[in-house]
Each structure stands twice: as structure tokens, then as C-alpha cells.
């Protein structure tokens, strides 16, 4: 014991000291966190960019590629928001739940969207993007140990925020698979399967639905949403509705239905009892203002005492970024028909959405013409999630390198073409299938060239490993 103490003292005298925080000693839950959309592929793309090589980023950051211009005649709108800010400045803290005026505007937006169904601003909480609100609600849900640990049903493929957050919180991820053969449809029978298996080792308490889908681009039908609500009600599951792409619906016959609207229209017992949190963001849609980090959550039928705890949790971070709150107000309060900017705003909005619809169709068309690649219709959101066939020798080579096969494919694609996409393994997929996620954001003609270039690379890659 004396020798050990002496060794430590000698190390201190010579300036050698063991780190207090080491990889072995850090929180093991943090080490289990993975976030594919900012993972190795994107990090390598940034390295290449630093080396002044052209990188065609098709994976993140919607604002880099497209964003409408807000007209200059917005002085009154700006003054109204500033009057509601502390000290009449965006540089001052707001209350933790967000500026009251903006919460009221969000509630009015929800009422308009849902055909007049009331929304209470006291049930609206502004957040640092939708992500922060999602994490906050999940924190409230996670409890128990061992077989009583909280389980959360999430779709596979999923947006990696969910798997990363559940790993960080030590909750149990319960996968339910979307049906690729039916354009990534959500099947309630699959929910029952996942729930039944999960109850053997955890306590499922919540169900997450992403609509429109990310990364899969599907738009849920009203009938499907009703079935999901019934399932959640019968199984006593808290519903999380990730609806950040609600403005992005392209496919003929597809329509966005909010979970809140459907829930209220279903009437008793669902409308008055089923707990729901729905999320929206300024980062997506036709706006793409992702750097401002604006968003909100509306809670429905949440226990009043729990709602107070949620506010307490949010207050630890003081408040969401006030410029992001101001931007959210512009999103939920667009120019009215009597405003000078109305015509320009409508024209820009419709042009953005029409171009996205054309690019969604083009993506599906080009990929489905390429041997070994198949792509479901991009009904909504701003991504495609094509399935790619990889030769057995390529799979073996990936395993030798310690990589997922689609990660190996995407790394080779990046290195040889400069095209950056995210491997499907980062979102989850059925065993033995391989995918990648790419945006549909680049200008139409550039997108066409990129799709064709990617298809040619896949053909070359397949030949190399055949």
C-alpha cells in the first residue's frame, strides 16, 4: 500500500498524473450512443472538404442548399416579436417554456392546421429544435431497473436521435419494422409482435411514430393513424408523434393528418385520455432554417403534475434560443392574404414544394432504372432510402475491415466520387438488407447528374466484387 502511494507521489512530482476522466471510466451509456447523420461518413466528407476536394453533401443541412427569402416588408412583424421579448431584445432570456406571444401564435397555427380543434398555449413548449423537446419527453418517461426498465417502441428504419437518446438514458429500444414491400407502411400487427416480445425483458411505456417518415419518406394514412391510436390506448402507451416534415407531402393521394387532429376527432374514450406529445421544427419543411434551432412540442392529456416537472426540466437550460423562437413565429404565422408580402411568400413556398415534389419523383425514377437499386416512392419529407444489392464478396470484404457492408459501400462512394450519403445501418434495417439515405435537396439538374453518377458507381462496384 505504501509503495502504491509512493508511486503516485513520484508520478505527481514528475508531472505525470492519471486522467480523472478516461474512456474506461466515463459513462458507459455515452459510449453506446451512435448518431449516423453526423457519423464517420460525414466526418470523412469534412476531411475531404478541408483538403479542397469537391464533396457533394447529400446527407445533412437543408439550409445549405435551399431556403426561401423572407420579404423585407416585415417591420411590423419584427416589432411585434421584439415587444414580447424581455427588454425588447432577442439578446435577453425568455421564460423557459418560450415567449408567451409566440406560444399563443403556435397554438393558433395548430388550430388552423387541425380545422379549428382548440389548442391551449399552456400546453405548448418551445424548444431548441424538435430534438430537444423529444429528449425532454423521453427523460420523463424513463424509469425502473432490470425487467421494469422503460421500453420505447421506435420504427426501423428510424431517425438516429431516438436510438442515441435511449442509449444515453439507459432505456430499452424496442424495434418495430416498417414494411418496405408496402412503401414503408406501418403495420399494427408488427406493433403487437414487437410489444409482446419486449414485455419479456422491459416495461414498454411509449410508442414513437415519425410521420412523414425520416429516412423512409412515407406518409401515414388516416386509417393507419387511427389504428395506431387505438393500439396505444389499449396497451397504455404514451404516444410521441414526430411531425417535423408535415409541410412536405408530394405523392398523389397522400395527405398529412396530425395525430392531434385524428385523436380529437375519434372522440371518447381516446380524445380525453390518450397521452400524446407532438413535435414540429423550423429546420425542415419548406423553410430549412436548421441553424436557428427553433421548434416546439404540444402535449395532450399529460398529467398536470408531470407537465410541471417537464417545465422544471426545461428551466435547467434556461430557455430555447430566442432568435430561434422568433423564427418559429414567422413559420407558424405566415403572411396573411391582406399583407403586402403574401403573394411573394405564397409563390416562393409553392415553388419550393413543387420543386421538391419533382425531385422526389426523379429520385424514384432514376434509382428504379438502375440494376441492383430499388427505391420506394418518396411520398414526403426530403430524403430517399433506396435499397442496394451488394455482392457477397463486398460483404465479406466489409466484414474483414470491421465495417457494416453499406458503410463500406458508402465510404467507397465518398472516396471515389465525392458523393456523401448515410448508410442504412445507421438508421436500422432488416437483417441482410442494405440501404442508404440521401437528400433530394440539390437543384433538379444537378440532382439528376448525381443520381446517374451514383448509379454508375454502384454498377462498377458490383462488377469489381462479383
Q: pLDDT tens across 141-173, in order?
A: 888 888 888 899 999 998 888 998 998 888 999
Q: How confident is the model at residue 22 (pLDDT cuts 50, 70, 90)?
A: very low
Is the omega angle on the peptide bond into residue 84 within 30 degrees of 0, that is, cis? no
pLDDT at 45 over 80: no
Q: How confident is the model at residue 333 (pLDDT cuts 50, 70, 90)?
A: confident
Q: Select, from the ranges 78-87, 220-229, 285-294, the one with the highest average predicted confidence (pLDDT).
A: 220-229
pLDDT of the residue at 200: 92
272 or 28: which carries more pLDDT confidence? 272
The span from the CA of 392 to the CA of 410, in Å, is 16
Complete DSSP assignment for 37-94: GGSHHHHHHHHHHHTT---EE-SS-GGGT--PPPPS--HHHHHHHHHHSGGGSTTS--
Is the pTM for the entire model greater than 0.85? no
Q: How confident is the model at residue 352 (pLDDT cuts 50, 70, 90)?
A: confident
Give the residue carrying C-alpha cell 457477397.
392
pLDDT at 354 over 50: yes
Q: How confident is the model at residue 111 (pLDDT cuts 50, 70, 90)?
A: very high
152, 206 contact by CB (below 8 A): yes
Q: How confident is the model at residue 340 (pLDDT cuts 50, 70, 90)?
A: confident
Question: SS3 letters for 411-427?
Answer: HHHHHHHCEECEEHHHC
Q: How confident is the model at residue 341 (pLDDT cuts 50, 70, 90)?
A: confident
Question: In which region does residue 61 sit, left (phi positive, over 0), alpha (psi from -120 to 50) or beta (all else)?
Answer: left
78 or 155: which carries more pLDDT confidence? 155
pLDDT at 69 over 60: no
Q: pLDDT tens across 253-291, in order?
A: 889 999 999 999 999 999 988 999 999 988 877 777 777
Mean pLDDT of 366-392: 93
Mean of pLDDT over the chain: 84
The span from the CA of 318 to the CA of 98, in Å, is 10
The span from the CA of 65 to the CA of 58, in Å, is 10
Which residue, among 57, 69, 52, 41, has the nearest Cα to 442 in the 3D structure?
Answer: 57
pLDDT of the residue at 237: 93
- CB burial of residue 337 (10 Å; 0-12, 13-18, 19+): exposed
pLDDT of the residue at 58: 57
pLDDT of the residue at 19: 45
Q: How far, in whole angstroms, is CA 237 from its chain's centroid?
A: 21
The span from the CA of 428 to the CA of 180, in Å, is 13
pLDDT at 66 over 50: no
pLDDT of the residue at 6: 53
Amino acid at each position: 500500500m505504501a509503495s502504491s502511494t509512493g508511486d503516485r507521489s513520484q508520478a505527481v512530482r514528475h508531472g505525470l498524473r492519471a486522467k480523472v476522466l478516461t474512456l474506461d471510466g466515463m459513462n458507459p451509456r455515452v459510449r453506446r450512443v451512435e448518431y449516423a447523420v453526423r457519423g464517420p461518413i460525414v466526418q470523412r466528407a469534412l476531411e475531404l472538404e478541408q483538403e479542397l476536394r469537391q464533396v457533394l453533401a447529400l446527407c445533412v443541412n437543408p439550409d445549405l442548399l435551399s431556403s426561401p427569402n423572407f420579404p423585407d416588408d416585415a417591420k411590423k412583424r419584427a416589432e411585434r416579436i421584439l415587444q414580447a421579448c424581455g427588454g425588447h431584445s432577442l439578446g435577453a432570456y425568455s421564460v423557459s417554456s418560450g415567449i408567451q406571444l409566440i406560444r399563443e401564435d403556435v397554438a393558433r397555427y395548430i388550430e388552423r392546421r387541425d380545422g379549428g380543434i382548440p389548442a391551449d398555449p399552456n400546453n405548448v413548449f418551445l424548444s431548441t429544435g424538435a430534438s430537444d423537446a423529444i429528449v425532454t419527453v423521453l427523460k420523463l418517461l424513463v424509469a425502473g431497473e432490470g425487467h421494469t426498465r422503460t421500453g420505447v417502441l421506435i420504427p426501423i428504419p428510424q431517425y438516429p436521435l431516438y436510438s442515441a437518446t435511449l442509449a444515453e438514458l439507459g432505456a430499452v429500444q424496442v424495434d418495430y419494422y416498417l414494411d418496405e414491400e408496402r412503401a414503408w407502411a406501418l403495420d399494427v400487427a408488427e406493433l403487437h409482435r414487437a410489444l409482446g416480445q419486449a414485455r419479456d425483458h422491459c416495461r414498454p411505456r411509449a410508442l414513437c411514430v415519425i410521420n412523414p417518415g425520416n429516412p423512409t419518406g412515407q406518409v401515414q394514412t388516416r386509417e393507419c393513424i387511427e389504428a395506431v391510436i387505438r393500439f396505444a390506448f389499449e396497451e397504455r402507451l404514451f404516444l410521441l408523434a414526430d411531425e417535423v416534415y408535415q409541410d412536405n407531402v408530394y405523392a398523389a393521394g397522400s395527405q398529412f393528418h396530425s395525430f392531434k387532429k385524428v385523436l380529437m376527432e375519434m372522440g371518447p374514450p381516446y380524445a380525453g385520455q390518450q397521452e400524446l406529445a407532438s413535435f414540429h421544427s423550423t429546420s425542415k419543411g419548406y423553410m430549412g432554417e436548421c441553424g436557428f434551432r427553433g421548434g416546439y412540442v404540444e402535449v395532450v392529456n399529460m398529467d398536470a403534475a408531470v407537465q410541471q416537472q417537464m417545465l422544471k426540466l426545461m428551466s435547467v437550460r434556461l430557455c430555447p434560443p430566442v432568435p430561434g423562437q422568433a423564427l418559429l413565429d414567422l413559420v407558424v404565422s405566415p403572411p396573411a392574404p391582406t399583407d403586402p408580402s403574401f403573394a411573394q411568400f405564397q409563390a416562393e413556398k409553392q415553388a419550393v414544394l413543387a420543386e421538391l415534389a419533382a425531385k422526389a419523383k426523379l429520385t424514384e425514377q432514376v434509382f428504379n432504372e438502375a440494376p441492383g437499386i430499388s427505391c420506394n416512392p418518396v411520398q414526403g419529407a426530403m430524403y430517399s432510402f433506396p435499397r442496394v444489392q451488394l455482392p457477397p464478396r463486398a460483404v465479406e470484404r466489409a466484414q474483414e475491415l470491421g465495417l457494416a457492408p453499406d458503410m463500406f459501400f458508402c465510404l467507397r462512394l465518398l472516396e471515389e466520387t465525392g458523393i456523401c450519403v448515410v448508410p442504412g445501418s445507421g438508421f436500422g434495417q432488416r437483417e441482410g438488407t442494405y440501404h442508404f439515405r440521401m437528400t433530394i435537396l440539390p437543384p433538379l439538374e444537378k440532382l439528376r447528374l448525381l443520381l446517374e453518377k451514383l448509379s454508375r458507381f454502384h454498377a462498377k462496384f458490383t462488377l469489381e466484387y462479383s
